[in-house]
Amino acid sequence: MKTALVAASILAASAAEARPVLNHVYVVLDQATFDAMRNDPRVSQLLGPSDAGLPDYAPPRADPDRIFLRGRATYLELFAPKNRFNEPVGKVGVAIAEDRPHDFEHIAKRWQIHCPTSFYRATVAWTRSQPPIPWYDSIQCDETAVRKDLSIWAMVYKPAFGRWQTGSETTARRAILAPRRTAGQGQFDVTGLDLAIPAADQKRIAQQLTAAGLIPEDRSGGIVFRGDGWSITLRSANITSAAVTAIRMRVRTTPKSALRLGNSVLKSGWRKAALTF
């Protein structure tokens, strides 16, 4: 395993750009946990109010199939069990990102080397506007992007999307989310993600994360991959499906608390919070 990580580190170090950032994380929750995350006012107090997404970030309906919690530069997308994409309960998605298209191209080139036969690239547009608005460029390795339990991909916003959201052609996550602060959002940022991974899949996922530019560090019981301001911890387990065990956040408020939210717990204290499953 260490030999493979060293090889992948050499691939990642072939360019001198900064480590990648995080755009967002999505998780498909069981109904009890989803309802609690949506309805408990203490969640809003800590993380800010939720919204229903584009085009206007309106408050969620009475019976939504997903909600968004917007941070300063990152966000959480939480799905109900019965959702529009038919994603199964427990699935987690990780959107690695860059704020500049030039840096994003470095990831694309390395992933093309890492997964030459399964590399896929697409430009996604917001098609409910006419003409459609270019939204973001996306890349992935299919073997880690179309699984039933885990999806890993990378993205960068398009200048046209930044113009729609902010009036400027920015592609930076923080600038695009800045207008949400007027609605009381922007109260947190995701800083860490803990994943339990089937032993048979750990090597493949570890190599892809390293090829993306994250820096691996062996720790007792797992491997920590450090990006710019965030990290992913992989822990090999005797399981058949990947599972998120914790989402770690930096928050503005400091009260110490532990909220039971369905089958999860949201703990907070001194500018830190963790949603554990």
For residues 20 and 98, the answer to whether their CB atoms sit within 8 Å is yes
Closest residue by Cα to residue 209 from 183, 238, 241, 234? 234
So what's the pLDDT on residue 17?
A: 56
Q: How many CB atoms lie within 10 A of CB 197?
A: 24
Tell me the average pLDDT across 202-227.
Answer: 96
| pLDDT of 158 above 50 | yes
Closest residue by Cα to residue 123 from 142, 110, 137, 140? 137
So what's the pLDDT on residue 1?
A: 52
So what's the pLDDT on residue 254?
A: 72
| pLDDT of 137 above 80 | yes
- Domain carrying residue 194: 2-276
So what's the pLDDT on residue 14?
A: 46
242: Cα separation from own chain's centroid: 15
Spell out the residues 6+ positions from residue 175 whose beta carbon is closer than 8 angstroms to its own: 162, 166, 168
Task: Please give the tally of structural domains in the chain.
Answer: 1
| pLDDT of 7 above 50 | no
Mean pLDDT, all residues of the chain: 94
Tell me the average pLDDT across 210-215.
Answer: 98
In whole angstroms, what is the distance from residue 173 CA to residue 192 CA?
Answer: 17
**What SS3 state is found at 185?**
coil
CA distances from 161 to 50, 75, 80, 123 (A): 21, 17, 27, 12
**pLDDT band at residue 237, thresholds of 50, 70 and 90?**
very high
213: Cα separation from own chain's centroid: 16
| pLDDT of 33 above 90 | yes
So what's the pLDDT on residue 255?
A: 79
Half-sphere exposure in the Cβ direction for 91 (13 Å, CA): 22
CA distances from 268 to 8, 251, 259, 275 (A): 35, 8, 9, 9
The token pair that represents 20 in the structure block: 């990648």
So what's the pLDDT on residue 18?
A: 73
